[in-house]
A and B are shown apart, each in its own frame.
Chain A
């Protein structure tokens, strides 16, 4: 069964901490994405990547960075966590023209 695996289901971090969210896919997909989902705001794209070492900003990149050193792994980094980054974070991957396969999500709370 093909999968997108996010490293943590729940995470609590302190304001100002550097936070790493990891995502791994086993489908050899070129495309990988990071979204955040908040009540009433829907899915908002943070960053995406079409290939290894390649990244593009989505709609809300401020306060975030990403890394894709290997095809199967796409990491989201919160440089200095703030309370307004408390959210559900979803990683997804896809081949060209395909629907997305999403991970189970990481619910991050910043205190």
Chain B
């Protein structure tokens, strides 16, 4: 059974204070690892897909990296508008369409 564990559960940062969110996973043959951002009361918004260990993707202040066991979402010099819940999900080769989600990390960035 595919599993995703995200840590920490909550993270509070000062504006400009860089940090990382962790996503540990177990999957029987990784088809893809996905990061999403979710604002309160809204549906998650897709950020990145990573397919293989060593791959990196960047978008503004966010950078996602992938190893064989975990992924990190690095946030560089965050701003208050980066405050949200960040979700990680994996999809295995045996479940071509269905993803398994973690419980998320809620990030709060104080000005």
Contacts and interface: CB of A to CB of B under 8 A. Distances in A.
Interface of A: 4, 30-31, 33, 42-43, 45, 48, 50, 58, 88, 90, 92, 94, 96-105, 107
Given A42-B102, A99-B49, A105 B36 contact: no
B97 A43 contact: no
A97 B91 contact: yes
Top 6 nearest A-B pairs by Cβ distance?
A102-B43, A31-B97, A99-B46, A42-B103, A99-B34, A43-B101
A75 to B, nearest CB: 17
Contacts of B46: 99-102
Contact of B36 (A30, A50, A99): A99
Nearest to B32: A97
A94 B97 contact: yes
Interface string B19-62: 00000000000011010100001111110110000000000000
Given A100-B44, A100-B89, 10 more contacts: A90-B43, A90-B44, A96-B96, A97-B32, A97-B91, A97-B96, A103-B43, A104-B43, A105-B42, A107-B41
Q: Is the interface of A mostly helix, strand, loop or mixed?
A: strand
Given A42-B103, A97-B31, A97-B91, A48 B43 contact: no
B98 interface: yes
